[in-house]
Amino acid sequence: MTRKPRETSVRLAVDLGGLPMANPVTTASGTFAAGREYADFVDVSSLGAVTTKGVSLNGWEGNASPRIAETPSGMLNSIGLQNPGVAHLIECDLPWLAAAGAKAIVNVSGHSFREYVEVIEALEAAGTADAYEVNISCPNVDAGGMTLGTDPASVQTVVSLCREATDRPLIVKLTPNVTDICEIARAAASAGADALSLINTLLGMAIDARSRRPVLARAVGGLSGPAVKPVALRMVWQVHQAVDLPLLGMGGICTGTDAVEFMLAGATAVAVGTANFMEPAAAVDVVDGIIDYCEQQGVADVNELIGGLRC
């Protein structure tokens, strides 16, 4: 049964760095493909946006299996940005999302500065993305990904290059695997990002004591799910104070209350990721939960919540 959020008089629309969203909820890249796989469960047009799986110029094979491990209240993944390349996204996925009436935030990946720009150029030529999320934070690839996102100078370079390639809303996705996320946030802001999204997964590991081997083929992977929520909240709160940019908060969001906590910490919008695996209509549940909270708390406009933490 396809679900959408319930009717409400609460104003839910937000503006994420120039991307108007009907409500503050999108999906976290890599957990929702390009929406089609969830179409039996979620009316994708009823979400604030769908954030698509990271896409590179040509297809990537991704990592060896096993690619996931369940950990207490979370999971590790090491998919390695497997994707069929930007042409497939342009030909198959973005038209489907457009026909379904959904907004598309396209998560862009690359092995080099040049590749990020080429992916954006291809998407610009097609003109079907509503916004870009530049992925400089994937922990599961050797080149590009997190290696870019941990060095302020590299962040500045790649974001500047992407900025030159598009006038559409440019969201930069940050890794939590740094000493000071605010330093990286400032680098992305100064290079022209319209918004920041955080957090990507936390680098982690699982070991099988009996076999004395790592559980994941690549030994390490990215931790996500409810286990990372406190870390994500802390980082959203810190970055909100450090830069004057709208934030897309994520990390273990399963309920409307979780989402509200991120908004209070400073997020303008939120992404639901691992929770999609737990409950396929989780993103709708989160919107409904935000509505419940606002109605119960007498919040007329969801924008009142942004950065509303009392401390």
Partner 1 sequence: MAPLVNEHASILQNRPVGPGLHLLQLHMPVIARQVQPGQFVHMRIPGREGHILRRPFSIYDSDPEAGTCEILYQAVGSLTSYLPSLQEGEVEAIGPVGRTWSALERFREGSATRALLVGGGVGAAPLHLLARRLSEARLPFDVVLGAQTRDALVCLPRYERLCAAAPACSTDDGSFGFAGFCTPLVEERLAKGCTADGNPYDYVAVCGPEPLMRIVCGQAEAAGAYCELSLEKRMACGVGACLSCVVETVHGKKRSCVDGPIFDSREVVWA
- Binding-site string for partner 1 from residue 144 to residue 173, where x marks contact by CB under 8 A and - marks none: ------------------------------
Burial 196-213 (b: 16+ CB within 10 A, else e): bbbbbbbbbebeeeeeee
If you write DSSP's letter for every residue of 145-164 in order, what string do you get?
A: THHHHT-HHHHHHHHHHHHH
Nearest to 54 by CA among 126, 96, 115: 115
Q: Which of 79, 86, 120, 283 binds partner 1 (CB under 8 A)?
A: 79
Nearest to 243 by CA among 171, 150, 167: 171
38 touches partner 1 (CB under 8 A):
yes
Stretch that binds partner 1, among 30-38, 106-114, 145-153, 172-180 (CB under 8 A): 30-38
- Binding-site string for partner 1 from residue 276 to residue 305, where x marks contact by CB under 8 A and - marks none: xxxxxx------------------------
Q: Is 138 part of the annotated catalytic residue set?
A: yes
> For residues 32 and 132, which CB has a smaller minimum distance to partner 1 in the complex?
32
Stretch that binds partner 1, among 68-76, 168-176, 184-192, 235-243 (CB under 8 A): 68-76
CA distances (Å), origin 82, targets 53, 67, 200: 9, 11, 17
116 touches partner 1 (CB under 8 A):
no
The rounded Cα 125 to chain-centroid distance in angstroms is: 23
CB of 239 to partner 1, least distance (A): 26
Stretch that binds partner 1, among 62-70, 103-111, 142-150, 190-198 (CB under 8 A): 62-70
- Block residue for tokens 């709160």: 237
Nearest to 106 by CA among 19, 22, 15, 203: 19
Q: Which of 7, 9, 61, 298 binds partner 1 (CB under 8 A)?
A: 61
Nearest to 286 by CA among 4, 25, 75, 7: 25
Determine the Cα–Cα distance for residues 107 and 109; give it in Å rounded to an integer.
Answer: 7
CB of 298 to partner 1, least distance (A): 31
Stretch that binds partner 1, among 37-45, 121-129, 203-211, 241-249 (CB under 8 A): 37-45
225 touches partner 1 (CB under 8 A):
yes
Q: Which of 274, 288, 291, 293 binds partner 1 (CB under 8 A)?
A: 274
Helices and strands per DSSP (H, E), number in the chain = 10, 18
Nearest to 251 by CA among 268, 238, 235: 235
Residues near partner 1 (CB under 8 A) = 1, 30-33, 37-38, 40-41, 53, 61-62, 65-70, 72-75, 77, 79, 82, 225-226, 274, 276-281
Active site residues: 138
